[in-house]
Amino acid sequence: MKLPAALLALLALLLTYSSASTNNYTTINFDTLSTTSGLGPLPSPHYHLSFHSYSVLTPHSPSLKNIISPHDTNCAISAPNALLGSRPCEDCTGAYFEIANATWMKEEGLNPWFTLVGFWIKPTDAPEPGTTIRVRGYKAGEEKETEETEALEWEVEFPSGFHDMFEVRIEEFSGMKWERLRRVEVVADFGYGPLDWEFCVDDLVVQFFEVEKDEQEEEGGARIVGEQEVLSEEI
């Protein structure tokens, strides 16, 4: 029996939804989120994460013509959307994403933390003399950095000029695995001082972990299951 196309689409969506809670590598690409005049807010949670000081960007939107640089229409690795991030204020920390609700995750059988695998990023436009993008990870259970806190930091310098999106493979580039995270901050500075600059992010790759059924009463019992999924719907 041939199923209607609408029913097949619904079944595919349900399969994607169910795999999102138990998968191994999850690539989040924001492409089904709607924008108005090329920009829009992110729902929270979005795949168990809450995004702060980010907007959804549709770089090829006609509404953004003469507003963003034509050299920034490459922000979306997977069309049509990417994220646009910046500091919310001069003295604030960078834009960040974090576990949205630890209680909900535990109820779904997931540990309330994630591993950061990678992402694509670039500064917008072509500021002088260049832009430094810094990434900082905070582990679950650590409210703030102290001298005893393991430093999870990495940065990349973009010289003056227009750029393509750059793929960050965080373990390879930083020399350590960024695991058991509750929060990741990103900040872009340009010039010779800490002056905020906007940046694009897309195709964020993370891992979520199921709690082992026979170890749910113990701390830290977890496993990863499944194959890589590309996810773009809200959970």
pLDDT at 136: 95
pLDDT at 179: 96
Cα separations (Å) of 24 from 48, 69, 79, 96, 227? Answer: 14, 36, 23, 22, 6
Q: In this predicted model, which residue has the larger pLDDT, 166 or 4?
A: 166
pLDDT at 233: 42
pLDDT digits (tens, 9 = 90+) for 104-132: 999 999 999 999 999 999 999 987 888 99
pLDDT digits (tens, 9 = 90+) for 173-184: 999 999 999 999
pLDDT digits (tens, 9 = 90+) for 57-96: 999 999 999 999 999 999 999 999 999 999 887 777 889 9
pLDDT for residue 4 is more than 80 = no
What does the domain layout of the chain look like in residue ranges? 25-231
CATH number for 25-231: choose from 1.20.5, 3.30.460, 2.60.120, 2.60.40: 2.60.120
170 Cβ contact partners less than 8 Å away, ≥ 6 residues apart: 116, 117, 118, 119, 135, 154, 178
Q: In this predicted model, which residue has the larger pLDDT, 222 or 69?
A: 69
pLDDT digits (tens, 9 = 90+) for 134-162: 999 999 886 555 545 566 999 999 998 99
pTM, full prediction? 0.80
Q: What is the mean pLDDT of residues 35-43?
A: 95
pLDDT at 234: 42
Quickly state the pLDDT bin for 3 (edges 50, 70, 90): very low
DSSP string, 109-164: TB-S-EEEEEEEEEESS--SSEEEEEEEEEETT-SS--TTSPP-EEEEEEESS---
